[in-house]
Amino acid sequence: AQSVTQLDSQVPVFEEAPVELRCNYSSSVSVYLFWYVQYPNQGLQLLLKYLSGSTLVKGINGFEAEFNKSQTSFHLRKPSVHISDTAEYFCAVSLSYSGAGSYQLTFGKGTKLSVIP
């Protein structure tokens, strides 16, 4: 089974400051990694995903994440945040191979990012 740990439940940060949201995962098999964002009263939107190749993945809205296999981490970063980035961010994993053809997502508990003017 896979599990995802998001180490910070809440992260306050001033506008235009950098931010890092931490994600660690545990799995006995190879997984793919995802970051989703949930704005208030909305569904989840994909920010970025890591499947293979370069360990630095760039996503939408200026976010990027780095896959670190040895540390089983997939931290999300943004060099300068805006008020509009205030939202909840979810890290997730899915199997990279499933004989049953099912690739459901296993989510972390989420990190609420609050950008302070």
Partner 1 sequence: DSGVTQTPKHLITATGQRVTLRCSPRSGDLSVYWYQQSLDQGLQFLIQYYNGEERAKGNILERFSAQQFPDLHSELNLSSLELGDSALYFCASSVGAREGETQYFGPGTRLLVL
Task: Give residues in contact with partner 1 (CB under 8 A).
Answer: 32, 36, 41-46, 49, 51, 90, 94-98, 100-110
Which is closer to partner 1, CB of 2 or CB of 86? 2
Cβ at position 80, least distance to partner 1 in Å: 26
Alpha helices in the chain (DSSP H): none
C-alpha–C-alpha distance, residues 4 and 23, integer Å: 7
Cβ at position 14, least distance to partner 1 in Å: 28
Q: Alpha carbon of 12 to those of 17, 70, 91: distances in Å?
A: 10, 28, 18
Which is closer to partner 1, CB of 51 or CB of 116? 51
